Structure formats: C-alpha cells, structure tokens
Amino acid sequence: MTLRLGTRRSLMATTQSQMVADSYTERTGRAVELVGVTTFGDVTKAQLAQLGGTGVFVSALRDKLIEGEIDFAVHSLKDLPTKQDPRVTLAAVPARHDHRDALVGHAKFADLAPGARVGTGSPRRIAMLRALRPDLEYVPIRGNADTRIGKVTAGELDAVVLASAGLTRIGRDAEIAQIFEVEELLPAPGQGALAVECLSDRADLISFLGVLDDPRTRSAVTAERTVLSALEAGCSAPVGAFAVDDGQTLNLTAVVVSLDGQQAVRKSAAGSPSESVNLGQLLAAEMISEGADRLMGEQSR
C-alpha cells in the first residue's frame, strides 16, 4: 500500500518532502506519494513574528494526520512547536543538512554600503545582524525563497538572509554571496533539520519511519529545542542555539540577543548525548540567571 506523505505546497516544502519520500522508497521499497496541504502560515499576510511564528505551518498538517487523510508529515524542524502534542510523535529526524544562515545578494555582508537594505522575516537574524552591522537597514519580509530573492533581483533590497540548507535544496545555492559561521549568526534551534511526524498510536508506522532517524542529529536538535522551550520562547524570538553530537560528547551553544543588537547572553555547555534535555535545561537556567528572560521581555513589549 502506498503511504501518503503530507507536505506544505511551497517549492521548498515539496522538494524536501520528496527527498524524504525517495529516501524511504530507496531504503524499504515502499511507495510514497505526496499530498499537498495549505497551512495558515502559507495564506496569511501577517509577519510571522506577529503571529508568534510557532505552529503556523504545522497545525494544518497535524489536522490531516488526525483526520486520517495522510499517514505521515514532513516539516522543517525549526517550525515545530516545542510543546509536544501527545496525539503525534516525532518518528524520525533525518541527518541534518547545513545549519547555517546565508546571505543572497551582490556583495558580502561586510562590503554592503552603509544604509543598505537587508531583508529577513526573523527577529533572531535581525538582532544578530544588527550586532554585526548596526549601520544597515533591516526590512521584515516574508514569502517563499523565490519571492524574497526576487526582491534583490528587482532592486527593492540589497540582500536577503535565508537558511543555507533550504537554498541548496531548491537549487539556488549559486546565488549565495556569503554563508555566516555560527560565531557570527547562531542558527535557529533545529535549523537545517527535518521532522517526520505520524500519529502516536501507529506503532507499525513509527517503526517503519524510524529507519531514517539519525541519533546524533536528534540529540543535537533536542538540546537546542529544550533551550528554546525552557526560555519559554517561540520560534520568532531572538534566540539562537546549535549543538553538535560527535558520538561521545554533546556540545551546545545558545544565545539571546536584544532586538537592537546591543546586548546578548551567550552560553555554552557540554555533556553526554543521552542527557540532551538536561543539558538544554541547565544552559537555559544559566542564561536566565544572566538576564536572558529580560532581553526577551523587552522584545515582547
């Protein structure tokens, strides 16, 4: 029987979902068909930061799971709410692609003229970019990658910042002017990773989908998302986190930046990969003790 994979309809979403579908077919011989779903985040004109970001691309896909119209769904992991819905389970986290942010434009970031207009829909990126270059103008934008890149081509913006992994997936990586290292821009928790979800009561499906699970990616993104959850921040908050599991040690770094880029709380910790949740909670507690919650509170006012 052919499995039905639910996906958002954007080029980025369908491309990454097809990659996952093909991987399952290659590994198991099982046929997988894509089922396009329109989510609230796809149709609303509001900025994602105003919507709270979290879940606006996810809830419609979960509804289709619960209604039995699809068997499993693929999301960008950074779009998943940190609060677990007991009806669904994260059956697989495939190996992560590039976690970094990328600049698309005609010049490197340091070479942009003062006052240049840089587009991004992410308060995290705006805050961190302001810390590096407060002399530039940061413009909130939304829309798919093609729409955002089109604003540079049309001359409305001098550059846009997008996830490197997404640009590579849709074949637009040749337009990347610069990739930011994590020392410059710490990525969103889970950035570059995908999430495969199905209903919690489908034991057969959980086992089947688990063939694509990458334990090192899972422990890393679990630590990153635990920081986000413990800080009680949504995916639109100016929080960056990145972890690496080398098989023996899990190294985690997280940061909260004020929206003006002037203040930041940045902390790192290391521990056992099996303790990823504890590591994330401990790091978040240290950050809060140094005022991270105050910086986020300023953003929400």
The residues carrying an active-site annotation are 78-79, 124-125, 142, 148, 235
CB 197, CB 81: distance < 8 Å: no
Q: In this structure, what token pair is assigned to residue 255?
A: 């940061």
Please identify which residue in the block is written with the tokens 């046929």.
Answer: 31
CB 97, CB 187: distance < 8 Å: no
Q: How far apart are CA 211 and CA 217, in angstroms?
A: 14
State the DSSP code for 286.
H
CB 236, CB 53: distance < 8 Å: yes
Amino acid at site 79: D
State the DSSP code for 175.
G
Count of CB atoms situated within 10 Å of the CB of 59: 15
Q: How far apart are CA 164 and CA 99, in angstroms?
A: 7
Amino acid at site 128: M
CB 2, CB 76: distance < 8 Å: no
Q: How far apart are CA 181 and CA 105, in angstroms?
A: 17
Mode of pairing for the β-strands spanning 32-37 and 3-8: parallel
**Secondary structure of 186-226 as H, E, C letters:** CCCCCCCCEEEEEECCCHHHHHHHHHHCCHHHHHHHHHHHH
